[in-house]
Each structure stands twice: as C-alpha cells, then as structure tokens.
Amino acid sequence: MAVDVFVSEEKIQKRVVELAEQINRDYAGKELMIVGILNGAFMFCADLIRHIKVPVQLEFMSASSYGDGTESSGNVKINMDVKKEMTGKHVLLIEDIVDTGLTLSSLMHLLEKRNPASLKLCSLLYKPARIKHQVKIDYLAFEIEDHFVIGYGLDYAGAYRELPYIGIYKND
C-alpha cells in the first residue's frame, strides 16, 4: 500500500489561516459555537480554532447516515450530541469532507429545528463529482476530484487519521 501526498501540510495550514480570517471577519462582534464533527474533523477543527479571534464555545458531535440515500433528511443517526443548547447561537459546523452530501444535508435539517441564530458549514474537502444531496458549504478549504483521500483526520478503515497531510490511498 502506498500513499501519495495530495495536499501538503504547508498548503493545508496556509488555507486554514485564510479560512479563519474569513470567519473572523464574518463573525466580528459575535460569539461563535463551533461544532466539530467527529471523528474526521478533529484535526481541521483543532488547527482552525487556533486562528479564531472571536469568542468560541467548542462542541463536538458524531453522526452517521444510513438508509438508501434517496432522502435528504431524516436518515441520520446522532451517535454523540452537543451538550449545550443551540437556540439563539451562531453555530458553525466543521466537517472533514462532503462526499454524497447525505450526512451533512440530513444533519443541517435536523439542527435547523433547534433554532440557532445562524447555522453555517465549514468543510475541509468537497467532491463535486460524487454529490447527490446539495449542501451549502459556507467555508471550503479545497474542492477535489473523485479520489479516496486519507490523512489530516480522514481514515481508511480507522487508520491514517494522524497524517499531517491529505494523501491518496493506493492499493499497490
């Protein structure tokens, strides 16, 4: 098995700073509830939050999609929920990758019902070739082609999350 570096550590860190600056401008004067989606977004979330200048309340949640994927809502299982109330808060979800969009479109529908003051999405990666459920990504680090990627939080069968770069997994 081989891993090709797809997005280098330097490129990721540069983009993380750019996104954080954009978020700082957009939320100036406000308080932010950042919700990292586990497990994949842990590293992206940890790097991003270090550059956020507005007051932050940090939460995590874990969700998995199920079913045949033909419905854009209602088929998401919350494995771990946020502990704090979202009502009236400016909530920013941090995700690793929007692939088919099923998980995030379902999750956004569900969280809207908790009446946050605003609900936005920040994703490390987006694969437009695979999208089936449209999701509005407010902050995106990288749009990528249809590769299975690992590293920087993303896994293959639970492994490779620790890599500081995004790689392409090759079975050879």
Residue nearer to ligand IMP on the CB measure, 17 or 46: 46
Residue nearer to ligand IMP on the CB measure, 91 or 121: 121
Residue 7: strand pairing partners: 166
Question: Shortest distance, CB of residue 159 to ligand IMP, whole angstroms?
Answer: 11
What residues line the site for ligand IMP (CB under 6 A)? 40, 65, 96-104, 148-150, 154
* Percent of residues in the chain assigned helix, strand, coil, to nearest 5: 25, 35, 40
9-26 vs 42-49: helix axis angle to the nearest 10?
Answer: 60
Residue nearer to ligand IMP on the CB measure, 55 or 74: 74
From 47, 96, 99, 146, active-site residue: 99
Give yes or no: 99 in active site.
yes
Q: Which residues contact 113 (CB under 8 A, 6 or more apart)?
A: none
Structure tokens at 99: 């692939």
Question: Shortest distance, CB of residue 98 to ligand IMP, whole angstroms?
Answer: 5
Catalytic residues: 99
